[in-house]
Amino acid sequence: MAKTKKKPSTYLYPVPVVMVTCGIEKPNIITLAWVGTVSSDPPMVGIAVRKERHSHRLIEESGEFVVNIPGEELLEATDHCGQVSGRDTDKFAATGLTPEPASEVKAPLIAECHVNMECKVREKLELGAHDLFLGEVVAVHVDEEYVDDSGRRVDYGKVKPFVLTFAEYRGLSEPLAKYGFSVKR
């Protein structure tokens, strides 16, 4: 099949959709999709936030944030937190989401998200439109019912996270195979 050449741009999709909480006195929620795991030891995640975002200032000032993974039941709240600004909206009040105290950082967890990762900013890379905050994961919380039978892994089939494909949210399909199946690991 012939390929069509496009001008350089960000075509890396799907990407996970998360709600990041940040700020201390008036905590805020920002929806982000340009996020990823960047190191396992120490465990680190990267979040790309445009400089002009209200949340950018809150993260820069506090040096902390929490990555909260929403399930499909929180799709509308998640989209909403990516459409309005914490400059003029209390997004917890607007969405009905519940702030819950974290253990290692001052920003709250979102109680309704089944997985929460508390992070401390270790570095900020200025890349252009976005700054990449690299956060060390200093605590993780998982709702007990969402840990699988072995007690070691999160049952993401139950969490039902969703992804963004350019301008559309999509759910995850059924599992395709086990990790390492091609080498019978």
Q: Please select the residue that binds ligand FMN; options are 46, 63, 75, 84, rule is CB under 6 A.
A: 84
Shortest distance in whole angstroms from residue 157 CB to ligand FMN: 22
Q: For residue 52, which of 30, 69, 78, 76 has the smallest C-alpha distance?
A: 30
Q: Point out which span in 29-37, 97-105, 117-125, 155-163 binds ligand FMN (CB under 6 A).
A: 29-37
Q: Which is nearer to ligand FMN, 41 or 52 (CB)?
A: 52
The residue with its CB nearest to ligand FMN is: 82
Q: How far is the CB of 4 from ligand FMN (least distance, A)?
A: 26
Binding mask 116-155 for ligand FMN (x = CB under 6 A): ----------------------------------------
Q: Does 82 bind ligand FMN (CB under 6 A)?
A: yes
The one among 23, 71, 86, 135 contacting ligand FMN by CB under 6 A: 86
Smallest gap from residue 44 Cβ to ligand FMN (A): 17
Query: What is the per-residue binding string for ligand FMN in 34-53, x denoting contact by CB under 6 A?
Result: x-------------xxx--x
Q: Which of 63, 87, 70 is nearest to 32 (CA)?
A: 70
Task: Kindly tell me which residue out of 14, 85, 94, 106 binds ligand FMN, with binding defined by CB under 6 A.
Answer: 85
**Can you give the chain as a three-state secondary structure string?**
CCCCCCCCCCCCCCEECEEEEECCCCCEEEEECCEEEEEECCEEEEEEEECCCHHHHHHHHHCEEEEEECCHHHHHHHHHHCCCCCCCCCHHHHHCCCEECCCCCCCCEECCCCEEEEEEEEEEEECCCEEEEEEEEEEEEECHHHECCCCCCECHHHHCCEEECCCCEEECCCCCCCCCHHHCC
Number of C-beta neighbours around residue 20 at 10 A: 27
Q: Which residues lie near ligand FMN (CB under 6 A)?
A: 17, 28, 30-34, 48-50, 53-55, 79, 82-87, 164
